[in-house]
A and B are shown apart, each in its own frame.
Chain A
């Protein structure tokens, strides 16, 4: 097939559409990835838009943050809905990106030539959790205060860089007046920037991979795959709207850092399994405080998962089993902790 003549098209949009029409994806894996990526993109767009809106009223100080979020929810028109969409969009994004990574692992899509895409995908999953988590700190509710303290202590357990990380995140060893500006900077600046680098890598990869010619069992990206993605996107959007209007996230009152007790609070679902591991551990493991050992192990585990293609160049069966067992442990641990 001749490449379409772009010069003949008067508008860049039409030229692009014609080019996309030449790109084909396989009906099985190709289409699945296109659909998952489309839903993730939709959710990211929702997050970006509602995030910008929420930022219009947010004041990142320990004294004002809680009131400023409450003002959005109680006074600003559609404020409750915007916050709820931002919350549920973030939770869904973790699930969708997590599912994409799991699917890629099942299909062994970490082997060459997909290594860069796999690394970017795992990084995006971690970033989605980090975004949800930093976002949960911003309202500076009682729960945020406890979580900020607890998570920074967890970060401080990492060898060598731990205390430095905590200092950078909080601007001190305990949550203080500098903390919220930094957390906001992470949430709305640093993490999205890293995420967009990962997305850029994924786009380059996809552009390089997509076959340009139709074959048996393939589907043109535009319009066939795009229409299916649009239909799925519409369903997801409606579900998200319904969820957001029916179940607005709770906004607790603020609390004093030095007195905020964790009694009666449960950790967020995406970190539940880490907390359960921490509770079940003995005080010392291999002669070191158990929290230090566990946090280091979790960090190493995630890093190994991300860099897996570099360790397992032949994409062995044993490697796949290791990846699947790790993912199953995370999912199983989360479900167990939630049922607990």
Chain B
């Protein structure tokens, strides 16, 4: 196959250059106008931010409902929270979204680890990464135990 399209000689360099310039100007104007029109459309499609509620505690259960070395994932206003009852009787809570790509994590009591099913991320009971691709620790939330009620504080 021959390169017939490119072997045609330009009759004169100047009109060619002028045409390229014209092409460029038309192209730039068209894309500029297009982008300007796109901007309000993108803004429109982005829902307005909802005000985030201030710090508050949510009761997630009574102390005796948690067996020792066990955990449960609770839904706090659409956010999964892992409440962990440690072997010593202490409580810790983490946002149960893996820091890799946000899968919901769960607790493996046999290994005393928090595990992510998506790409094998594993975290210690302190939320630190032990293995796998997650780049950072789980976000911890303060836990308050008052009159046998376990409360997670967010905000």
Residues on A facing B (Cβ under 8 Å): 111-113, 146, 149-150, 153-154, 157, 164, 167-168, 171-172, 174, 176, 178, 256-265, 275, 278-279, 281-284, 289-291
Counting from the closest, the 6 A-B pairs by CB-CB distance are: A279-B119, A258-B75, A289-B135, A263-B117, A153-B101, A153-B102
Are the C-beta atoms of B5 and A256 separated by less than 8 Å?
A: no
If A164-B42, A258-B78, A262-B117 touch, whether A150 touches B132 (CB-CB below 8 Å) is no
The smallest beta-carbon distance between B118 and chain A, in angstroms, is: 5
If A259-B75, A260-B104 touch, whether A275 touches B134 (CB-CB below 8 Å) is no
Q: Is B127 at the interface (CB under 8 A from chain A)?
A: no
If A149-B103, A154-B101, A164-B42 touch, whether A258 touches B79 (CB-CB below 8 Å) is yes
Are the C-beta atoms of A112 and B46 separated by less than 8 Å?
A: no
What is the number of contacts between chain A and chain B, taking CB atoms within 8 Å? 84
If A112-B3, A258-B75 touch, whether A283 touches B129 (CB-CB below 8 Å) is yes
Among B63-113, those with CB < 8 Å from A are 73, 75-76, 78-80, 100-104, 106
Are the C-beta atoms of A257 and B118 separated by less than 8 Å?
A: no
Are the C-beta atoms of B120 and A279 separated by less than 8 Å?
A: yes
Are the C-beta atoms of A174 and B118 separated by less than 8 Å?
A: no
Are the C-beta atoms of A262 and B103 separated by less than 8 Å?
A: yes
**In the assembly, what is the distance between CA of A178 and CA of B44, in Å?**
13
Q: Is B10 at the interface (CB under 8 A from chain A)?
A: no
Closest B residue, CB atoms, query A313: B6
**In the assembly, what is the distance between CA of A168 and CA of B42, in Å?**
8
Are the C-beta atoms of B80 and A259 separated by less than 8 Å?
A: yes
Are the C-beta atoms of B47 and A172 separated by less than 8 Å?
A: yes
If A174-B78, A283-B133 touch, whether A259 touches B102 (CB-CB below 8 Å) is no
If A258-B79, A259-B75, A263-B117 touch, whether A168 touches B133 (CB-CB below 8 Å) is no
User: Across the interface, which residues of A come within 8 angstroms of B76, CB to CB?
Assistant: 258
User: Across the interface, which residues of B come within 8 angstroms of A256, CB to CB?
Assistant: 75
Q: Is B45 at the interface (CB under 8 A from chain A)?
A: yes
